[in-house]
A and B are shown apart, each in its own frame.
Chain A
Amino acid sequence: MTLDPITLSVIRAGLEQACDEMDLTFSRAAFSPVISEANDRSDGIYDPVDGALIAQGSGGLPVFVGTMQYSTRVLIEMIEAGTVAAPRPGDVYIVNDPYLGGTHLMDVRFARPYFRKGALFCWLSNTGHWPDTGGAVPGGFSASATCAEQEGLRLPPVRLFKEGVMDAEIYAIICSNIRVADQRIGDVKAQAAALEAGAARLDALLDRYGDDVVQEAIAALRRRAADQMRACVADIPDGVYRGTAWIDSDGVVDTPLAIRLKVTCAVTTLSFDFTGSNAPCAGPMNSVRATTLSSVYLAMRHIFPDVPMSAGAFEPFEVIGLEGTFLDATYPRPVSGCAAEVSQRIAEAVFAAMVQALPDVVTAAPAGTSGNLALGGHDPARGRDFVMYQLSGGGYGGNARHDGLSNGCSTIGISKAPPVEIMEQAFPVLYHSYALREGSGGAGAQRGGFGLEYELELRRGTAQASFVMDHGRVGPQGALGGADGAVNEVVVRRDGKTHVPPHLSKEQDVPLRAGDRIHVRTPGGGGYGDPLTRDPELVAEDVRLQRYSRNEAEALFGVGLTGSPPVVDLVRTAELRRRDG
């Protein structure tokens, strides 16, 4: 049977809408603000035989693009091996084991078999970031964990719902091992309800077009997505492109970790070779294979956003050289940093390599850190403990057409940061500033975007601050002659003394008392192209807006300014640019 392109297009839209509806239901019904506000979740439809991605919601968290198909594949393999119970209608499996196709423990996956006429037609699956899954620290981001058990409760695939009924015993085990367990029932029901909504949409789609037609369409769509990505790859000049990205440290041993990437483009395939990257590390900055692959895929999707998300789109890619590196960690290596930080460095390595091949499309490096500050303590005024997270954005990289955006979200996320007013309502802190970080954008013909600068004070009681950030040692890299963005900086002021984390961007449990302050400056984006070719008027505009100083205009861009408000001094500029050039 060959389907006409119209039926194919209509079924593709139908599958995507089913996923969008799952995303919407999950976010709106969830309790965890990480899911409901930050959209740290994703829903998709997966192949019954190999778990391959059939369709995914357009608003799903980018880093889950690739992971759920591995997690579904592992589940299918375990069912076939008999190590996991076979699926029945109404079952929902729960799993968060990072080494079984996951990310970190907090990303909890649900998988629901979807049956038609008694046979398994596909899997519906979603991932949601739970606020806590037990372990040494609230929230799970321990900067100093050295094994998986310190990071939290690890669940193999088990059926949390059996033929539509939740297994209260399994649920009780989970609740006994995690913090703030009383609200989790809301997230569990939301996560299952999303899959239910997806099943209802699939019913309608299959009833309308027929099971055989939809099945044929799914296969055809996979082939076409592969063709489309191959067409994109064919436009990339054949050759070898290299990129390297650095992680400050693993949080335990103060040594930088390198991601070394060699991309080989041959006609319609791209090979991503990570040979030479560091060995697995002691601290939590390891990545698991599924997350590493997903990071490559999401970086490529940032480059080619028009290719629909389906397993076919990944077929032209080959990822090799992971064995023995920290990008393919196995049990019991700690991995809490993989989804938020290592994944972004992998994407940075991909951007750094690909910008050479596709200078008109790819950007210089974005800030690429989630800027995770956790503050846990006791609020005497309210008589209770609190845990607060501040996730921050940074500058994006300049690119062929534009300067980088300022204070953008992480590469792998799509979440909004909470307002200062909400943070101050909820926690005993006072922000003294929340400002654009001047001078932080990497200089370039198109400069990087600016990072964020904030200072907060603990108003009452005591607390412990933890940092899981990155880019403290080397700034986000510039491209094609552009300068690096400013590095991440953390300074703690305690009793009038200044403390800088020994690992710069990572530290666990820094004690604070009322009146102590934390000052964070997030990275700017990398610059794109030679800064001496930047339009001097744009440099003058940035100085008028106090984004750079006059000295920076001269030193970084070779632009002399005169008067107030500043205007370009053409003679001085020519002189500066001649000398620097």
Chain B
Amino acid sequence: MDDVQSRHVVGVDVGGTFTDLVQLDPKTGAIRLSKVASTLDNQAYGVLAALDAADCRLPQVDLIVHGTTTTTNAVLERNFSRTGLITTRGFRDVLELGRRTRPQPYGMTGEFTPVIPRDLRLEVPERMDARGEVVLPLDHAAVAAAGTALIASGCESVVIHFLHAYANPTHELEAAEVLRGLWPNDHITLGHALLSESREFERGVTAAVNAAVQPVLDRYISRLTGALSQKGYAGDLLVMNGNGGMVSSRHVASEAAKTVMSGPASGVMAAAYTGRLAGTPDLITYDMGGTSTDVALIRGAEPSVSNEIEIEYAMPIHVPMVDVRTVGAGGGSIARIDAAGLLRVGPESAGSDPGPICYGRGGTAPTLSDANLLLGRLDAAGLSAVEGGVPIEQIARVFEDQLGAPMGLDATGAAAAVVRMANTVMAGAIRMVSVSLGADPRDYALFAFGGAGPLHAAALARELSIPRVLVPARPGITNALGCVVADLRHDFVRTVNRAIPVLGKALSQVFAEQAAEGDRLIGDQAIDVTELRRLHSVDMQYAGQTHLVRVDVPDPNVDAKELLSRFEAAYFARFRIALEGIPAIVVNANTSVVGARKPVDLTALIAPEGRQAVVSELSRKQVFFDGAWYDTPVYWRDHLPLEAHITGPAIITQMDTTILLGPDDKAKGDHMGNIMLQIAPST
């Protein structure tokens, strides 16, 4: 055995552009970081390169936690494996018909391609009714024939999806038995297994996505674990799930759909962890990248989780995922003058190729990043994606010609307008996200990360009357950090559907069963857990409603009176409505069992030896705020004392991001290396 002191934990996250790695020595608190280009055709190369770059010695690594975009990309790029469907006779088109929608309210055009094409969707005689009683027994021979036909068509995975299987899964289980006898691999997904809820389209698409990405994920994980063990890694590889928990690589493929959106989820988990330690447990996370911005809500250090995420038009994936909403605004968002002569920013984006003009890859459309550059907020030299220098005069000319002239502004005025408009759009979107989750943004702190988040955070917070912004030590590697600090986590939902007066012991019983199952699953994983947290909540409504209000239930043995008053309080807080005489119904009982891992000391994220005793300026530059140029000091973050005080205007720059303080905003460092901004009110 190696020296106990040298056992390391590694978090590695593959993003769209970069693969980030954090290696932690739990004994000494020593941290190593690396950032390499992602290799999207085979993400394993990037992972290995990141390990090399951080000089990781795999035999000394205890645990690797991995966030991957393999399944997310497969879904968004429709890079599915060939998948067949066996379903109830008369219903093979459910996956294609959807819920009779169109992609946008206005415009009668659009395209939709179902996850499984029609010729691979086969029907068999069988039928359950809504109470789970057999109307027509399953025809086993028909299942075998359908399975044989799908194998002959080259299907690699298969979904068995029967009507009302959530009420009685017997037919799906029987059909699976039949198929196991002839299917060449394990890639058999049962509709009720991932999501045991009614709504045949949503359940069916969730299962279909799972089956369609399963072989893709399976191949990737096999390649990666093979390569890791060749290099001497003997531990288990854990893979992040979209709910912010993680699962062993040995089991991950069977529920592959759960890994969709795991990247954004791990970022939110890191935010929750950081916020808890910093004493700021109520956060709105704001992760701004090149094409889009991800927003999520964290209450009491627990991220809000949803079972009803729609990844794109008519693509619902109904498994518990951290509720991350994407807004179509990022550094690459294109600014233009619309037909009414007004300025618009986004949702069109220059992406990363060609990207903003300042990237020097041939981009010609003015973007938000270009505007920040013109205003002195970004340094061309500091842009990690820059190819060749584009003279700033050239960018100024584009702003003047395309935007300034129609508005009667010079290049600077046009750039300031673009930033202001982008902030208005993002602030509006953040507001809608928080309001839809029943939260007033003013009660939260903004947690800014991603490459561009800290650049806009102070202005956004001002727009939203959010008093504080928390910027973690390493905003650019937050997702990888999430892998290192994430807890074990299992989420459960069960439909209860009972009115409060007749609830009896039903709720506490469900909570107890779900908690026991979670305890068991966490006990099965060979990872040290310091504490088990069990979080219970219910989704409630008044009789006759369809939307739900989530109510936290601290005590699983809650009595009816207490539950009702909690619901009424939550309802009033959300809608300012008090209703009497209408029965309140408990629809779902949710339990999350969290196995907390040992706390990680993050102080070393910024090397302590580099920190100086006093705040000293790196340089000064002219930066444009609110209609005027300010002589603005620039600080190198890694040199700042831990508990530095800085008053804006100021730029605090570091390897992976730039923090911008407006005039009179105040920054204060904490003992863990975070910076907290106090936002000056808008004038």
Sorting the interface of chain B by its residue count into under 10, 10 to 19, 20 to 34 or 35 or more gives 35 or more
Would A434 and B339 count as touching, CB distance under 8 A?
no
Segment touching A, from B365-373, B419-427, B598-606: B419-427
Set of chain A residues within 8 Å of B99, measured between Cβ atoms: 416-417, 419
Would B542 and A186 count as touching, CB distance under 8 A?
yes
Segment touching A, from B88-96, B228-236, B561-569: B88-96
Would B129 and A408 count as touching, CB distance under 8 A?
no
Would B199 and A422 count as touching, CB distance under 8 A?
yes
Does B530 sit within 8 A of A, measured CB to CB?
no
Would B119 and A546 count as touching, CB distance under 8 A?
yes
Interface hits, A17-53 → B, CB 8 Å: 17, 20-21, 24-25, 27-31, 33, 36-37
Does B545 sit within 8 A of A, measured CB to CB?
yes
Taken residue by residue from 13 to 42, chain B's Cβ proximity to chain A (1 for < 8 Å, 0 otherwise) reads as 000000000000000000000000000000
Segment touching A, from B68-76, B103-111, B450-458, B531-539: B103-111
Of A6, A392, A401, A424, which contacts B100 at CB under 8 A?
A: A392
Does B343 sit within 8 A of A, measured CB to CB?
yes
Set of chain A residues within 8 Å of B94, measured between Cβ atoms: 420, 434
Q: How far is the CA of A407 from the CA of B314 in the complex (A)?
A: 12
Does A185 sit within 8 A of B, measured CB to CB?
yes
Q: How far is the CA of A402 from the CA of B421 in the complex (A)?
A: 34
Closest to A398 in B: B109
Of A17, A224, A366, which contacts B428 at CB under 8 A?
A: A17
Interface hits, A430-459 → B, CB 8 Å: 430-436, 452, 455
Set of chain A residues within 8 Å of B545, measured between Cβ atoms: 30-31, 36, 186
Contact status of A29 and B108, CB under 8 A, knowing A227-B340, A420-B91, A433-B90: no
Segment touching A, from B244-252, B258-266, B288-296, B572-580: B572-580
Set of chain A residues within 8 Å of B341, measured between Cβ atoms: 5, 224, 227
Does B117 sit within 8 A of A, measured CB to CB?
yes
Of B105, B344, B425, which contacts A62 at CB under 8 A?
A: B105
Interface hits, A182-239 → B, CB 8 Å: 182-183, 185-186, 189-190, 193, 196-197, 208, 224-225, 227-228, 231-232
Does A305 sit within 8 A of B, measured CB to CB?
yes
Would B340 and A419 count as touching, CB distance under 8 A?
no
Would B431 and A17 count as touching, CB distance under 8 A?
yes
Set of chain B residues within 8 Å of A9, measured between Cβ atoms: 342-344, 417, 421, 424
Does A8 sit within 8 A of B, measured CB to CB?
yes
Set of chain A residues within 8 Å of B431, measured between Cβ atoms: 17, 21
How near does chain B come to A568, taking the closest CB pair, in angstroms?
Answer: 17
Would B97 and A416 count as touching, CB distance under 8 A?
no
Taken residue by residue from 400 to 418, chain A's Cβ proximity to chain B (1 for < 8 Å, 0 otherwise) reads as 0110011111010011110
Set of chain B residues within 8 Å of A393, measured between Cβ atoms: 97, 100
Looking at A24, A393, A407, the one whose CB has the most chain B CB atoms below 10 A away is A407
Set of chain A residues within 8 Å of B163, measured between Cβ atoms: 420-421
Of A27, A28, A59, A424, which contacts B130 at CB under 8 A?
A: A424
Closest to A409 in B: B100
Of B110, B407, B436, which contacts A5 at CB under 8 A?
A: B407
Q: How far is the CA of A7 from the CA of B408 in the complex (A)?
A: 13
Would A20 and B432 count as touching, CB distance under 8 A?
yes
Q: How far is the CA of A420 from the CA of B198 in the complex (A)?
A: 9
Set of chain B residues within 8 Å of A30, measured between Cβ atoms: 545, 547
Contact status of A430 and B96, CB under 8 A, knowing A24-B432, A31-B544, A302-B107: no
Does B400 sit within 8 A of A, measured CB to CB?
no
Closest to A417 in B: B100
Set of chain B residues within 8 Å of A421, measured between Cβ atoms: 130, 163-164, 166, 198-200
Of B129, B344, B407, B543, which contacts A4 at CB under 8 A?
A: B407
How near does chain A come to B407, taking the closest CB pair, in angstroms?
Answer: 5
Q: How far is the CA of A415 from the CA of B98 in the complex (A)?
A: 12
Does B611 sit within 8 A of A, measured CB to CB?
no
Does B135 sit within 8 A of A, measured CB to CB?
yes
Would A225 and B340 count as touching, CB distance under 8 A?
yes
Q: How far is the CA of A323 from the CA of B428 in the complex (A)?
A: 44
Does A58 sit within 8 A of B, measured CB to CB?
yes
Of A14, A302, A308, A545, which contacts B118 at CB under 8 A?
A: A545
Contact status of A547 and B118, CB under 8 A, knowing A419-B199, A432-B90: yes
Does B546 sit within 8 A of A, measured CB to CB?
yes
How near does chain A come to B64, taking the closest CB pair, in angstroms?
Answer: 41
Of A28, A231, A409, which contacts B101 at CB under 8 A?
A: A409
Contact status of A190 and B436, CB under 8 A, knowing A228-B340, A302-B107, A421-B200: no
Does B435 sit within 8 A of A, measured CB to CB?
yes
Set of chain B residues within 8 Å of A406, measured between Cβ atoms: 96-97, 112
Q: How far is the CA of A305 from the CA of B104 in the complex (A)?
A: 10
Would A182 and B91 count as touching, CB distance under 8 A?
no
Q: How far is the CA of A366 from the CA of B110 in the complex (A)?
A: 13
Does B582 sit within 8 A of A, measured CB to CB?
yes
Would B342 and A8 count as touching, CB distance under 8 A?
yes
Where chain B touches its partner, the secondary structure class is loop
Does B201 sit within 8 A of A, measured CB to CB?
yes
Q: How far is the CA of A190 from the CA of B424 in the complex (A)?
A: 28
Looking at B100, B202, B406, the one whose CB has the most chain A CB atoms below 10 A away is B100
Closest to A5 in B: B407
How near does chain A come to B572, taking the closest CB pair, in angstroms?
Answer: 10
Does B498 sit within 8 A of A, measured CB to CB?
no
Would A27 and B547 count as touching, CB distance under 8 A?
yes
Would A183 and B101 count as touching, CB distance under 8 A?
no
Does B312 sit within 8 A of A, measured CB to CB?
no
Closest to B127 in A: A430
Q: How far is the CA of A227 from the CA of B166 in the complex (A)?
A: 55
Looking at B106, B198, B344, the one whose CB has the most chain A CB atoms below 10 A away is B106
Does A544 sit within 8 A of B, measured CB to CB?
yes
Does B140 sit within 8 A of A, measured CB to CB?
no
Set of chain A residues within 8 Å of B581, measured between Cβ atoms: 182
Does B102 sit within 8 A of A, measured CB to CB?
yes
Contact status of A21 and B432, CB under 8 A, knowing A417-B100, A422-B199: yes
Contact status of A224 and B108, CB under 8 A, knowing A30-B545, A408-B101, A425-B130: no
Would B106 and A305 count as touching, CB distance under 8 A?
yes
Set of chain B residues within 8 Å of A298, measured between Cβ atoms: 106
Would A37 and B546 count as touching, CB distance under 8 A?
yes
Q: How far is the CA of A452 from the CA of B201 in the complex (A)?
A: 15
Does A473 sit within 8 A of B, measured CB to CB?
no
Does A510 sit within 8 A of B, measured CB to CB?
no
Q: How far is the CA of A307 from the CA of B341 in the complex (A)?
A: 12
Q: How far is the CA of A266 from the CA of B408 in the complex (A)?
A: 31
Would B130 and A363 count as touching, CB distance under 8 A?
no
Does B524 sit within 8 A of A, measured CB to CB?
no
Closest to A435 in B: B93
Would B109 and A363 count as touching, CB distance under 8 A?
yes
Contact status of A363 and B108, CB under 8 A, knowing A20-B432, A193-B577, A407-B100: yes
Contact status of A306 and B108, CB under 8 A, knowing A31-B542, A190-B577, A421-B163: no
Does A396 sit within 8 A of B, measured CB to CB?
yes
Looking at B99, B542, B682, the one whose CB has the most chain A CB atoms below 10 A away is B99
How near does chain B come to A45, taking the closest CB pair, in angstroms?
Answer: 16
How near does chain A come to B394, taking the closest CB pair, in angstroms?
Answer: 24
How near does chain B come to A566, taking the closest CB pair, in angstroms?
Answer: 11
Q: How far is the CA of A185 from the CA of B579 in the complex (A)?
A: 8
Does A119 sit within 8 A of B, measured CB to CB?
no
Looking at A197, A225, A424, the one whose CB has the most chain B CB atoms below 10 A away is A424
Set of chain B residues within 8 Å of A396, measured between Cβ atoms: 102, 108-109
Does A13 sit within 8 A of B, measured CB to CB?
yes
Would A13 and B576 count as touching, CB distance under 8 A?
no
Would A402 and B109 count as touching, CB distance under 8 A?
yes
Set of chain A residues within 8 Å of B110, measured between Cβ atoms: 402, 405
Beyond the given A402-B111, A406-B96, please list 5 additional residue pairs across the A-B interface where CB-CB is below 8 A: A9-B417, A14-B428, A393-B97, A419-B202, A430-B127
17 A–B contacts from the bound complex (CB under 8 Å): A29-B574, A36-B547, A186-B544, A193-B577, A302-B106, A305-B104, A396-B102, A396-B108, A407-B97, A408-B102, A414-B105, A420-B94, A421-B130, A422-B198, A434-B90, A435-B91, A544-B119
Q: Which 5 A-B pairs have the closest CB atoms?
A: A393-B100, A433-B90, A305-B106, A416-B99, A228-B340
